[in-house]
């Protein structure tokens, strides 16, 4: 019997910048990190197709996070490159 096992829930996280951006608005202790969250379509539990990418600022302390636009995420990374000139 042949069957295909699809899934949509697999997520991977990638830190886009090494630096911290802001103090967390929820706990006021941790710093926010810019992360890329990719949701994958999986086949037999193997990630095949990245079908959704989100950008979030997440707190290293309380794990709170909120989504930001791709445009804003890219601007924040550009800012980091400018900072490296100092």
**Ramachandran quadrant class, 44 (left: phi over 0; alpha: psi -120 to 50; beta: rest):** left
Distance CA 39, CA 57 (A): 16
In whole angstroms, the minimum distance from the beta carbon of 62 to Zn ion comes to 3
The residue to which tokens 């791709």 are assigned: 70
Q: Closest distance between Zn ion and the C-beta of residue 46, in Å?
A: 34
Q: Which residues bind Zn ion (CB under 5 A)?
A: 24, 26-27, 30, 59, 61-62, 64
For residues 25 and 52, which CB has a smaller minimum distance to Zn ion in the complex? 25
CB of 58 to Zn ion, least distance (A): 9
């Amino acid at each position: 019997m042949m069957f295909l096992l699809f899934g949509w829930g697999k997520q991977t996280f990638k830190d886009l910048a090494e630096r911290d951006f802001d103090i967390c608005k929820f706990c006021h202790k941790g710093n926010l990190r810019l992360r890329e969250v990719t949701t994958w379509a999986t086949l037999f539990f193997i990630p095949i197709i990245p079908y959704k990418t989100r950008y979030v600022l997440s707190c290293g302390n309380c794990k709170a996070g909120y989504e930001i636009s791709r445009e804003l995420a890219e601007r924040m990374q550009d800012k980091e490159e400018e900072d490296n000139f100092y």
